Structure 1
């Protein structure tokens, strides 16, 4: 009889008894957290609704010395979008709205183009709205401080990124609009509607939407960012529910993913709408109702991640394998897909490749000196200044037989390591090659990264400190009601908002075209060649025209 019971348990679970062997990779990562006082993460894996693995690493609160546990509550950031979408789908199933309803019906303050934007398009990021978080950034502000009225006022004076229904473009604005629709149709705050219609039925007792100032969450993990010396906590809560705002635990989210598999509470019609109806197509993925669908190691995965300072969670369900994964973290340097690989690769029957152990700097230097020796005369042939564009110069110096690279425009430095091929060096995954030798001196330095292939030419001349002064001045955008100031410093073009910190405009790709932290900037000139403004294109806020004042 006991043998029969054991056999049935194995069939129900669907995996071998030595299941923990599948989780040796993630165990090895968690082991590294022992004895370290750092933020960390929690990971839960289930198959056929049964928990196979649930472990934690690091601290939820460093100041209070509270370790992450089963009860730790994490901010979900954009992982929350699936719950906002679920609220809309529930209202549709109740006959209180239609996916074909237009946005202006619910928010009449929006321009006429909102009459062509449907609820379905908002759900699938095809409505064409500019992202309000990006717009706030282009104002030099933080959208976390905006309430619903501020967001509405900002969006109501913007043009569309693209004609509604024509392009997929991720937009927190669309999901902010969906929250307004939920509240208008239901007559309840989304916090209450989601509690009564989603979280309570699924017994997700530690899950809720959180909005300032009512944001006191028990057992909440603090989000941390490392500055090179210590971990700093971050306030990430908002005054209005946009594309995020849900807090939850690994166990609660397991209940949600289990319902995604079984359909016990909300029924098949609800989940058919959530997961399969009218998906939007992106590059290599489908998007339905707050969820991405794409191939992960040849396995279909339904998932959504989130990104806030200190929080980078992910929920993932593999429908063909009946495997669900929840990964929650409170460290801004956390790489969720690295943890996902270590967690599920072997469980899904895929090979897991352990990362190479990084040697300490001194040991690495010793190995390099022993294996790859560069003659002093050759090292000297590389030293000097190399210019990409006027003012954008890299200095190569020899410090105790090690070459040091310094970007003179921002003083970023790094030691470059010799490779096996002569004249070749590396910095991590970056390749550097010296070439075009004249009189025992390299005349050029080629730098290749994952997204750049640039050739710097040796230069002995002083940079032209006036080259970019033609782009300086104050530039105003009416829709943002914001002014950006461009100025030069040591010949380098920089910009800022009023008295905020300044940012570098990277070396121009061509005349008048610069790439910046805030998007691509193309300066506009009149027939006499005088700069009259610029066009700023952020991937989530296109065609923002600024006029020179």
Structure 2
């Protein structure tokens, strides 16, 4: 007995020393959080079903000074999708539904096209439904405030994004439909069904689905976002389970990931269905039942991440290496793949490249840029407006001896200093060069960046501030039951969604009447007489949204 114990001690000491080597990268990141009152993360790694690393950094609750521990409960965002999919697989194994059943069988309020959308397509993001989160955004609203009835009304008023089964396109709508199917077939809420059939069998005691206003979880980590001056708590709970809604700890999720490897509780048939059967193909990956399968560091990785304000988790399983990793965070600026790489790269037998350390200006001599003085007359020779194409105009002004650049199309402006070379100026990531002087004025402005080398030509007259006035108006979408209003401000085309107070900028047109916006591409439609009658908006998750101009 004593000999056996000694051997065990030797094994543990040996593994511990090895694991310290494996996890130096992630330990170096954990160290950066020491003494800082900031949100953070929790990470757990297993090898061959055994925990080989577990650590945390930062605070779960900044206001209460509660640090993140292995008991901290995080919002899972879209990591939840694999559990919604697992519930469907359980129902299929129980013979209560078939993957080839059509959507309209369970939600008859959908139009006739839903008879061609199968449960399997909903699971794999090939059903062709518009994403309800994108649709709510185009209304100027937050889908987290929608209940199930509101989501159903919104979705059933839409045409399809794509032919069912034709292409892969990530859609939270498909997973909202799956949640409705689970409740209709089982007669239970998604939360209750998942608890009984997924979480309790795996003893995941701190994992559950939560909807607003019922979130009374103990040890809940608050999600935070920052504007650079401080942290603000985020609200992520929804009134209806869609593609998110789950909460868990890293320790609980480790149990799920180990089951993904061992198949001890749910069996081979369940996991074959979850991971390998009927996958959809994407660019460089396959997707099946709430899980991506692609190559990471030359290793097969089965994973899913999640993104809501304040939370950016990831779970990953490397089947060929028998390695799993769980990363949970409550910081909106969190880079999950940095942590994933630091926690697994050496364990996977790959080389880890440490980030370059930033110079400590307090202990090092810093080269001070040489001051360059420019004659006032030369500064004036640069001032004026420069055009790349209609709408793309840069204004250069002399503000008390400093040059100011203003992008006319979006109002962005900044001051920039000269460099030693004549006619050259520096902005972070860009060089501005004035050239082709005629009659004492620069005729061209050249912008050089890592991805651009453009020549703007001087305008002899002020830019036309009425260029986009023809697009002004209020436009209504019947399927959204909402409006978008376009207006101009200092010659810039702007728009408001629904009843929003804040406005957004439409970039100068890519071609006549085609504008890029942060909400998708807008293509205005003209009548035979040339007047604007409406537009089509294409967001990647909500295509061909039609808007008609009001009060023509």
Do the structures match in fold with TM over 0.5? yes
When residues 199 and 8 of structure 1 are mapped into structure 2, their CA distance, relative to the original with a 3 A threshold, is same
Aligned to 1:530: 531
2:78 and 2:426 mapped to 1: Cα distance? 36
Residue 285 of structure 1 and its aligned partner are, at CA, apart by 0.7
**Matched-pair contact (CA < 8 Å) for 1:514–1:521:** yes
**Matched-pair contact (CA < 8 Å) for 2:223–2:234:** yes
When residues 419 and 210 of structure 1 are mapped into structure 2, their CA distance, relative to the original with a 3 A threshold, is farther
Aligned to 2:207: 207
Residue 49 of structure 1 and its aligned partner are, at CA, apart by 1.6
Question: Which structure 2 residues correspond to residues 364-513 of structure 1 after superposition, within 5 A?
Answer: 367=367, 369=369, 376=374, 380=379, 385-390=385-390, 392-395=392-395, 405-413=405-413, 430-432=429-431, 434=433, 436-439=435-438, 441=442, 443-448=444-449, 454-459=454-459, 461-496=461-496, 497-513=498-514
When residues 509 and 40 of structure 1 are mapped into structure 2, their CA distance, relative to the original with a 3 A threshold, is same
The number of residues matched between the two structures is: 542
Q: Secondary structure of 2:23's match?
A: helix
Aligned to 1:539: 540
Aligned to 1:124: 124
**Matched-pair contact (CA < 8 Å) for 1:391–1:465:** no
Aligned to 1:153: 153
Pick which of 511-520 and 383-392 moved more: 383-392
Q: Secondary structure of 1:17's match?
A: helix
**Matched-pair contact (CA < 8 Å) for 1:485–1:498:** no
Residue 223 of structure 1 and its aligned partner are, at CA, apart by 1.0
Aligned to 2:515: 514
Aligned to 2:48: 48
**Matched-pair contact (CA < 8 Å) for 2:433–2:446:** yes
Aligned to 1:349: 349
**Matched-pair contact (CA < 8 Å) for 1:58–1:67:** yes
1:403 and 1:343 mapped to 2: Cα distance? 47
Residue 494 of structure 1 and its aligned partner are, at CA, apart by 0.4
Deviations 1:17-65 (A, max 9, x none): 3221222222222222122111111111111121222111111111111
Deviations 1:103-131 (A, max 9, x none): 00000010000000000000000000000
2:257 and 2:234 mapped to 1: Cα distance? 29
Aligned to 2:143: 143
Aligned to 2:317: 317
Pick which of 23-32 and 113-122 moved more: 23-32
Aligned to 2:246: 246
1:526 and 1:40 mapped to 2: Cα distance? 55
**Matched-pair contact (CA < 8 Å) for 1:225–1:234:** yes
Residue 541 of structure 1 and its aligned partner are, at CA, apart by 0.2
Q: TM-score, normalised by structure 2?
A: 0.91
**Matched-pair contact (CA < 8 Å) for 2:410–2:492:** no
2:515 and 2:279 mapped to 1: Cα distance? 36
Residue 297 of structure 1 and its aligned partner are, at CA, apart by 1.2
Aligned to 1:31: 31
2:327 and 2:146 mapped to 1: Cα distance? 29
Residue 401 of structure 1 and its aligned partner are, at CA, apart by 9.8
When residues 216 and 467 of structure 1 are mapped into structure 2, their CA distance, relative to the original with a 3 A threshold, is same
Residue 7 of structure 1 and its aligned partner are, at CA, apart by 7.0
Deviations 1:315-363 (A, max 9, x none): 1111111111111111111111122222222222222222223457999
When residues 129 and 464 of structure 1 are mapped into structure 2, their CA distance, relative to the original with a 3 A threshold, is same
When residues 437 and 344 of structure 1 are mapped into structure 2, their CA distance, relative to the original with a 3 A threshold, is farther
When residues 226 and 360 of structure 1 are mapped into structure 2, their CA distance, relative to the original with a 3 A threshold, is farther
1:402 and 1:38 mapped to 2: Cα distance? 38
1:168 and 1:201 mapped to 2: Cα distance? 32
1:468 and 1:365 mapped to 2: Cα distance? 52
Aligned to 1:293: 293
Q: Secondary structure of 1:63's match?
A: coil
When residues 435 and 24 of structure 1 are mapped into structure 2, their CA distance, relative to the original with a 3 A threshold, is farther
**Matched-pair contact (CA < 8 Å) for 2:210–2:237:** yes
Aligned to 1:304: 304
Aligned to 2:68: 68
**Matched-pair contact (CA < 8 Å) for 2:409–2:508:** no
2:26 and 2:401 mapped to 1: Cα distance? 40
Q: TM-score, normalised by structure 1?
A: 0.91
1:83 and 1:215 mapped to 2: Cα distance? 19
Aligned to 1:84: 84
Q: Secondary structure of 2:367's match?
A: helix
Residue 459 of structure 1 and its aligned partner are, at CA, apart by 3.9
Residue 515 of structure 1 and its aligned partner are, at CA, apart by 0.8
Question: Which structure 2 residues correspond to residues 171-320 of structure 1 after superposition, within 5 A?
Answer: 171-320=171-320
Deviations 1:467-495 (A, max 9, x none): 10000001000000011110001110000
1:6 and 1:464 mapped to 2: Cα distance? 80
1:239 and 1:211 mapped to 2: Cα distance? 5
Pick which of 93-102 and 16-25 moved more: 16-25
Residue 427 of structure 1 and its aligned partner are, at CA, apart by 5.4
Q: Secondary structure of 1:269's match?
A: helix
Q: Secondary structure of 1:173's match?
A: helix
What runs of 5+ residues in structure 2 fail to find an aligned partner? none
1:475 and 1:20 mapped to 2: Cα distance? 61
| Superposition RMSD in Å | 2.9
